[in-house]
């Protein structure tokens, strides 16, 4: 069944929506994205392919994070800054057919920041959103908090990446081999560093907060308000989880000044900052390798290869990370 026909049927049966328009939008790496309209309203629909192995954790996460995002909408001032999920007629967080899982939310009128720079007002607004999110952690109902993933500092994906480089990289002389082979030694060094950081952080005490865990510019939209979208990675983690994508930017000092108006942050954990910085680079590298070699492409081959190259280059320049962070927090 063609995807548009599936969407028309699934929305009618599960939400009572009579679709008048379906328009595919640029999506992320986990799902297809669609603007949906009926006679009176717009919606945003994410469609997950059940056959893609790397998507399965995001599908599983829906029933964990959606109730908490609904709670944030209903109980905090963040309702004007975050997506609002829409439940099915049966009060389910999602619906599905034999091939896809469907997640519906209210449509946000606005544009994704993406490759553009945040302006000064947007920097302050993002700091406010993340500060309020972290500050509300003690107020979350116990049953919702217990459902969330808690940071364990496990790095099982590093074993898979290491095994691939040792055993599988040379088996096929494709774009993956051509791009990754020159970086093999650097990747092994980073994996060993991750192992050290993982062991170190597991032995430390931590203050966990509710973290969006993916607060980069492609997940920030400017509408009538600044909006933080795509909550699949929501977890309980140290503050550094949400701050790592920001404290490496030129506007880090401004962001931190605003952020500290909402929640205390006086003693940054440099090991945690390095862990999350390196983890993101290596996870992305592993995901793009899998897309190119094993699972099929989400974006075009050219885009995926270019992003892989960029992250491999970034993985070469990690030795001075903690000294650079000391300058940010001096």
pLDDT in tens, 65-92: 999 999 999 999 999 999 999 999 999 9
How many other CB atoms sit within 10 Å of the CB of residue 107?
17
CA atoms of 314 and 316, how far apart (whole Å): 5
What secondary structure does DSSP assign to 77-94, as a single string? GGGGTB--B---TT--S-
**Which CA distances in Å does 204 have to 99, 114, 152, 238, 274?**
43, 35, 11, 11, 15
Please give the structure tokens belonging to residue 125. Answer: 């607004």
pLDDT in tens, 289-305: 998 998 777 778 898 89
Q: Give the pLDDT mean for 87-99.
A: 96
Q: State the average pLDDT for the chain.
A: 94
pLDDT in tens, 151-192: 999 999 999 999 999 999 999 999 999 999 999 999 999 999
Q: If one looks up domain 120-328 in CATH, what number appears?
A: 3.90.1200.10
- Residues 3-107, CATH architecture: 2-Layer Sandwich (3.30)
**Which CA distances in Å does 194 have to 67, 183, 226, 282?**
33, 16, 34, 9
CA atoms of 117 and 223, how far apart (whole Å): 16
Is the per-residue pLDDT at 276 higher than 70?
yes
Helix (H) or strand (E) holding 35: strand 32-37
For position 300, what pLDDT does the model report? 82
Regarding pTM above 0.85, the answer is yes
Q: Where are the domains of the chain?
A: 3-107, 120-328
**Alpha helices in the chain, H assignment, sequence order:** 3-15, 56-75, 120-135, 142-147, 156-163, 175-180, 184-202, 240-247, 252-259, 270-290, 301-314, 321-328
pLDDT in tens, 229-238: 999 999 999 9
For position 1, what pLDDT does the model report? 58
């Amino acid at each position: 069944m063609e995807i548009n026909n599936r969407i028309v049927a699934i929305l009618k049966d599960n939400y009572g929506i009579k679709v008048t328009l379906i328009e595919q939008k640029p999506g992320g790496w986990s799902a297809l994205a669609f603007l949906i309209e009926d006679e009176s309203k717009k919606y945003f629909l994410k469609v997950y392919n059940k056959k893609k192995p790397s998507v399965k954790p995001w599908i599983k996460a829906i029933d964990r994070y959606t109730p908490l995002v609904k709670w944030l909408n209903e109980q905090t001032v963040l309702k004007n800054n975050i997506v609002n999920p829409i439940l099915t007629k049966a009060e389910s967080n999602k619906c599905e057919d034999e091939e896809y899982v469907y997640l519906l939310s209210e449509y946000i009128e606005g544009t994704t920041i993406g490759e553009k720079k945040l302006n000064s007002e947007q920097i302050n607004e993002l700091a406010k959103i993340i500060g309020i999110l972290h500050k509300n952690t003690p107020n979350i109902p116990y049953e919702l908090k217990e459902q969330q993933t808690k940071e364990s500092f496990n790095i099982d994906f590093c074993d898979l990446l290491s095994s691939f480089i040792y055993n599988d990289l040379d088996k096929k002389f494709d774009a993956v081999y051509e791009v990754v082979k020159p970086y093999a030694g650097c990747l092994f060094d980073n994996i060993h560093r991750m192992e050290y950081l993982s062991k170190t952080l597991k032995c430390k005490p931590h203050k966990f907060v509710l973290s969006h865990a993916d607060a980069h510019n492609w997940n920030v939209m400017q509408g009538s308000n600044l909006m933080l979208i795509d909550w699949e990675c929501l977890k309980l983690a140290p503050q550094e989880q949400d701050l790592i994508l920001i404290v490496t930017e030129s506007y880090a000092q401004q962001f931190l000044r605003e952020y500290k108006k909402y929640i205390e942050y006086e003693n940054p954990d440099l090991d945690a900052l390095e862990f999350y910085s390196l983890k993101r680079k290596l996870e992305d590298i592993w995901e793009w390798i899998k897309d190119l070699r094993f699972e099929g492409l989400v974006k075009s081959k050219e885009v995926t290869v270019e992003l892989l190259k960029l992250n491999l280059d970034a993985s070469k320049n990690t030795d001075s990370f903690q000294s650079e962070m000391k300058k940010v927090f001096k």
